[in-house]
Amino acid sequence: MRLLVVCEVRDGAPSTDSFALVSHAASLGDDVGALVFVPTADELVAALGGAGARRVLAVEHEAAATSTAARVDAVALLCSRQTFDGVLFPASVRATDLAAALAVRLGAGLNWDLTDVRVADGALRATRPILGDATLADVGWKGDGPALALFRPGSIARVDVEPVPAPTVEVVDVEPHDTWGLVSVTTAGAEPGAESGESAGPRLDEADVIVAGGRGLGTSDGLALVRELAEVLDGVPAVSMPVVSQGWAPYSMQVGQTGTIVKPRLYVACGISGQLQHRVGMERSGTIVAVNTDPTAPIFTFCDVAVVADLNVVVPQLVELLRARRAGAAG
């Protein structure tokens, strides 16, 4: 099985999802290539080999940083020269743009929002949650090209695979084209789980402790409480979708089906009802504490600690208590 993983590189390093997908691909295929769009791939080679990549393929053109057209030309060229059974993408705005354009260019099938992939009878099969995640569909591919697969953020866990000590490095020598400069893609909001000016700190999908606020915060000012509690717990603030829709917080802070999937040790949900689309993003957390005024809120059916109370009362008390405890410990 020959697989290509199109990696996301942020701040000079492949994203957690990219490493996870490379390692997962290595557990399925004997020939796994990791493709990166960077000015020079040298510094990434050892790390990608550690995740099981036998080959690192690099598109070093500057234009590939912002131009989907450049990326499409490069990957299409690669696919015309080498045969891949599958091209796998950790989801991002850019990856979605690229995968969709590639599907058209290559006449290839594209499945998206996948949460697992495996080999069955010599072909790739994948899992795609549907109907609001209530059902898991087992999907395959048809079409002429390789199986194109976009994965839901945070859904693939890194697996232990035999590291490849010295992956080969291949530079994809795609010819620049006039169209490359016509459209340049920059994301207006941060990617799910990515840092943004507002949520600077550890990324949501890597956070050990998360304090999340929902519509129950009442106003944008309510978010200050969530931030305070997150700070005193050395955690990361997050929100449910309505908080983003109201413009109180950036999309990068959203947990859930269409936000970031998180797995912290501790998840404190304040004023969040626990609807399915939020639940699928956080139910794998270690301990879930829920603060909600409504004793019938769905979140109370799956949390570990239920606090039936007004968050405006409980959260400041918790912050005070934790600060006092910290001061005591320091003194």
Ligand X SMILES: Cc1cc2nc3c(=O)[nH]c(=O)nc-3n(C[C@H](O)[C@H](O)[C@H](O)COP(=O)(O)OP(=O)(O)OC[C@H]3O[C@@H](n4cnc5c(N)ncnc54)[C@H](O)[C@@H]3O)c2cc1C
278 touches ligand X (CB under 6 A) = yes
Backbone angles phi, psi at 202, to 5 degrees: -60, 150
45 touches ligand X (CB under 6 A) = no
Query: Residue 101's closest CA among 156, 39, 55, 145?
Result: 145
281 touches ligand X (CB under 6 A) = yes
155 touches ligand X (CB under 6 A) = no
15 touches ligand X (CB under 6 A) = no
Report d(CA 314, CA 290) in Å as an integer.
Answer: 11
By CB atoms closer than 10 A (0-12, 13-18, 19+), residue 24 is buried
Residue placing its CB nearer to ligand X in the complex, 120 or 321: 321
Count CA atoms closer than 13 A to 50's CA, side-chain side.
9
**Pattern 197-236, ligand X, x by CB under 6 A:** -----------------xxx--------------------
Backbone angles phi, psi at 242, to 5 degrees: -60, -30
How is residue 165 annotated by DSSP? S
297 touches ligand X (CB under 6 A) = yes
Crossing angle of the two packed helices 68-81 and 93-106, in degrees rounded to 10: 50
The residue from 235, 237, 256, 264 that contacts ligand X (CB under 6 A) is 256
Residue placing its CB nearer to ligand X in the complex, 52 or 271: 271
Residue placing its CB nearer to ligand X in the complex, 15 or 292: 292
2 touches ligand X (CB under 6 A) = no
Q: CB under 6 A: which stretch of 32-40, 82-90, 276-284, 318-326 binds ligand X?
A: 276-284
259 touches ligand X (CB under 6 A) = yes
The residue from 59, 91, 161, 311 that contacts ligand X (CB under 6 A) is 311
Report d(CA 192, CA 203) in Å as an integer.
Answer: 9
To ligand X, the closest distance from the beta carbon of 61 in angstroms equals 35
Beta strand spans in the chain (E): 2-6, 9-10, 13-14, 31-37, 55-59, 86-90, 110-114, 116-120, 123-130, 135-139, 147-151, 168-171, 209-213, 236-239, 266-270, 287-292, 305-308
312 touches ligand X (CB under 6 A) = yes
292 touches ligand X (CB under 6 A) = yes
Calculated CA dihedral for residues 217, 221, 227, 229, nearest 10 degrees: -60
The residue from 258, 284, 319, 322 that contacts ligand X (CB under 6 A) is 258
* Site for ligand X, rule CB under 6 A: 214-216, 240-242, 254, 256-259, 271-273, 275, 277-278, 281, 291-294, 297, 310-312
